Structure 1
Amino acid sequence: MSEDGEKDKDRTSKRPSRPVTAAARRERRASARPDGTGSGSDSETGSGKGADAKKRPAPKGKASDKPAGKDRPTPKRERKEGKRGSIFTRLIRFVREVWAELRKVIWPTRKQMVTYTSVVLVFVAFMIALVYGLDFVFLKGVDFVFGG
């Protein structure tokens, strides 16, 4: 195996876990870039002047400088009604998509779950006591007014 292959193996094994916060993702993206700024190399900007060229607004020129098609709305996609697939294929795809979405969920820890549950139970007990108290007061008020 070459020396480069060993470096790649070391790099992937030492890679930290996926960043959780947006700030951590931005920091990780910035550290992955060679110059620490921008979204790519200087050749992508077309200017060859480095990161400073990205900060300046584009020069105003002729209307022909715009890429073709920017002034028109995006065309609608044409749906192929014949390519829907069988009911089983669609059901399997639905289950896969649900499973993929469930993997994205940030599940609470046991401690958080106990805290949230106790807060909900205390709130519900308070609301029950409040409604019972108001009901009792209104009942006594109606008895007093109408003499019951």
Structure 2
Amino acid sequence: MSETSSAPTESTRPERTSPVTFYRQVVAELRKVVWPTRSQVANYFVVVLFFVLVMMAIVAGLDYGFGKLMFWVFA
């Protein structure tokens, strides 16, 4: 039975890139991004705000209901 090591050896380890190369690659990738328009951002904001308000109302209602239930059970 032969044991194989899963640790990378010196010959299989990829070379490190320089910070300048890394920065150039980041800028190149960011140029590929499709940025949303102002109206899309406004629309997303309204949708997220509505969702958060609905979730807050649900959690507040459950908190109020369970609080009243606990006071009724243990009072």
After TM superposition, the score normalised by the length of structure 2 is 0.77
Residue 55 (structure 2) pairs with residue 127 (structure 1): yes
Aligned identity (percent) is: 48
1:80 Cα deviation (Å)? 7.8
Residue segments in structure 1 that go unaligned for 5+ positions in a row = 1-77
Larger Rg: 1
Q: Secondary structure at the match of 2:35?
A: coil
**Higher share in helix:** 2
Rounded to whole Å, the distance in 2 between the matches of 1:135 and 1:80 is 54
1:84 Cα deviation (Å)? 4.7
Change in CA separation of 1:144 and 1:101 when aligned onto 2, cut-off 3 Å: same
Instruction: Report which structure shows greater RCO (CA 8 Å, sep ≥6).
Output: 1
Instruction: State the number of aligned residues.
Output: 65
1:1-148 equivalence runs, <5 A: 84=16, 90-147=18-75
> Considering only aligned residues, what root-mean-square deviation do their CA atoms show, in Å?
2.0
Change in CA separation of 1:142 and 1:106 when aligned onto 2, cut-off 3 Å: same
The one-letter amino acid of 2:39's match is K
Rounded to whole Å, the distance in 2 between the matches of 1:84 and 1:142 is 60
Rounded to whole Å, the distance in 1 between the matches of 2:70 and 2:63 is 11
Rounded to whole Å, the distance in 2 between the matches of 1:128 and 1:80 is 50
1:133 Cα deviation (Å)? 0.5
Residue segments in structure 2 that go unaligned for 5+ positions in a row = 1-10
